[in-house]
Structure 1
Amino acid sequence: MSPTIAIVSGVTLLTIVGIESGGAFLLRTLRRSSGFTDLQRSFFRAGHAHAGVLVILGLTVLLLLDAVGVNATLQWSGVGVLASAILLPAGFFLSVLGPHASKPGPLVGLIWAGAAVLALSLVVAAVAIVVAGVAGLA
């Protein structure tokens, strides 16, 4: 594993502590009967779920890219997946801030940006892994 990918992976593992703290916050919010709208509860739940799943997916993509020997430039597509693990949840959380939010605010665009980064990163990573696999057959 390249030193850069090792560092990125280690730092990413530390972010799971933050996701865990977010889970504790989510449990507290869901137990309250007042203070948050249904939209806020739904968006908080979606943000937390996306963060956890995308961090694990990002780490898996990094390991796959490294395992098949993809060059260092294309390995950054795994970092793109990890970037989507920031953008998507940020959009869910930040777009419903404020008291009595009844519709998402302008920061909902972060969800779309995160989805685009995720799709592009996964396509690049998938093609790089397939190409490395085909090259290994020769």
Structure 2
Amino acid sequence: MTPLQLSQPTQAIAGVVLLTVVTIEFGGWFLTRIVRGQVPMTPFQQTFARAGHAHAGVLVTLGLVCLLFVDATDLDGVALWTARLGVPAAAVLMSAGFFLSSLERGATRPNRLIVLLWIGALCLAAGVLALGIGLLTS
């Protein structure tokens, strides 16, 4: 078996995505402060903080896994970049949607920035569809 060879763009994106894990760690620490009552938040805000943190962790992991498969496809152009960046972009956008839409002091429902969650969901769908189709047709 030969060692895994990543293209330079895939390797660079994976490196950046790995660096974001430090921010997810910080989010985990912050969540411990929330659940200990050290950060005043409404139940809605606590729920959205948990959801934003969970989505970040899961989608960053999925994004790294997807990057391992991208270079095994024959994709090019927009399809290649959609497969490469769709899931990592979703990790950022969906988490931001949860966090930023619940940021206002005493919030009990999401503000307009919830749209970031739905844009992220579209990026996620586009990324996994492009990669799945690319793998099945290569």
Per the TM superposition, whether the score is higher than 0.5 is yes
The CA distance in 2 between the partners of 1:20 and 1:105, in whole Å, is: 26
Letter in 1 for 2:89: A
Kindly indicate whether the alpha-carbon contact (under 8 Å) linking 2:96 and 2:116 is maintained by their aligned counterparts in 1: yes
Equivalent residue in structure 2 for 1:96, among 98, 102, 105: 102
Are positions 1:108 and 2:124 aligned together? no
Residue 74 of structure 2 corresponds to residue 70 of structure 1: yes
Matched to 2:99, the amino acid is F
Amino acid corresponding to residue 69 of structure 2 in structure 1? L
Deviation of 1:72 after TM superposition, in Å, equals: 4.8
Aligned to 2:129: 123
Find the counterpart in structure 2 of residue 11 from structure 1: 16
SS at match of 1:32: coil
Paired amino acid for 1:4: P
Corresponding residue for residue 136 of structure 1: none
Q: Structure 2 regions of 5+ residues with no counterpart?
A: 1-5
Question: How far, CA to CA, are the matches of 1:41 and 1:48 in structure 2?
Answer: 11
**C-alpha RMSD over aligned residues:** 1.4
1:94, distance to aligned residue in structure 2 (A): 0.2
Matched, 1:87 2:93: yes
Partner amino acid, structure 2, of 1:84: A
Aligned equivalents of 1:43, 1:70: Cα separation in 2: 38
Count the aligned residue pairs.
131
Q: Is the partner of 2:105 in helix, strand or coil?
A: coil
Residues 71-119 of structure 1 show CA distances to partners (whole Å, capped at 9, x for unaligned) of: 4534321211100000000000000112110111000111111101111
Structure 2 equivalent of residue 60 of structure 1: 65
Instruction: State the 1:4 CA deviation.
Output: 1.1
Greater than 3 Å deviation, 4+ residue runs: 69-75
Fraction of identical pairs, as percent: 44
Structure 1 portions without partners, runs of 5+ = 133-138
